[in-house]
Amino acid sequence: MIYVVGSLNMDISATVARFPRAGETVAAESVLTSPGGKGANQATAIGKLGGDCAMLGKVGPDVFGEQMINNLKSYGVRTEHVTASQCESGTALIWVHKGNNRIVLNSGANGTLTETDVSEGLKNAKAGDILMLQLEVPLDTVAHALRVGKRKGMITMLNPAPAVQLGLEIYENSEIITPNETETQILTGIMPDCEVNVALAVKKFREMGASNVIITLGKTGSAVAVGKEITLIPAHKVKVTDTTAAGDTYVGAVAVKLSEGENIVDAAKFASYASALKITRKGAAVAIPTLKEVEEFIALRNATK
């Protein structure tokens, strides 16, 4: 079982010809409303890629909350521990321009997820289960979840986004940490823009207590640090439409393969295919590929080598 503790947001995504300057209004070329949030996106990726997943989170007593729960259910994600808050559901306002995005986030109900909620949601978790977290819910709740997961012998994964400075206990309780380039620079002070800097960033993460590190490097690919080895996995060249939820697709794919018994490096190789396919599509959760689609994509890529 894979447990995802994290955020659920309704994404309102506008494609624009260019990002507006301060005080300026620009016309949207298109607008898409779809369920998102890093936690829900990762749970969706797990469900669509064939994993057994349970989501722990909060939504508001509004139509967005109902839609987000139903969306997770449609992908086979268990939602009995997604509960209602008195706050409005979280929302994300997303501008997309030439495949890149800028996001304004309102945490809403996500900010009300408590340690008690997590303890209740994880009461049946067991050793070997996977626990995934991000940083769009209260940091105290994240730290508590990691403590619970570590105590139970779960495989704990932390996607430190959006990046904030973290206590050493969080690193020590995270078996796998999965930052992107920007998050790596914020957390370590090192931009992983070459192999030397990747190695320095990995060393810094380990000095803070992290065990295994996966740094996603955008169009460069990803770097997977397990033991003394750092494996560089190249990105797959595709036509980029929208990078929203690419990282969530990647880490969700890693979790699915780990739950099936694969090692971290092989799981990351599969994840690189899944995230590459995702960025060819517009939107967040709705654009995350299924297991069949990723397998077909891999077969096509291998056939054309």
Catalytic residues: 248
CA dist., res. 118 & res. 112, Å (int)? 11
* Cβ-based burial of 298 (10 A; exposed 0-12, middle 13-18, buried ≥19): middle
Determine the Cα–Cα distance for residues 288 and 47; give it in Å rounded to an integer. 10
Residue count of the chain: 305
Q: Which residues contact 50 (CB under 8 A, 6 or more apart)?
A: 256, 291
User: For the chain, how far is it from start to end, CA to CA, in angstroms?
Assistant: 35
Pairwise CA distance, residues 163 & 184, whole Å: 8
Compute the C-alpha angle 13/106/215, nearest 5°: 75
Instruction: Give the orientation angle of helix 38-48 with respect to helix 246-259, to 10 degrees.
Output: 50
* 3 state DSSP class of 224: strand
Maximum alpha-carbon separation in the chain: 54
Running DSSP on this structure, what letter comes out for residue 180? B
130-133/155-158 β-pairing: parallel
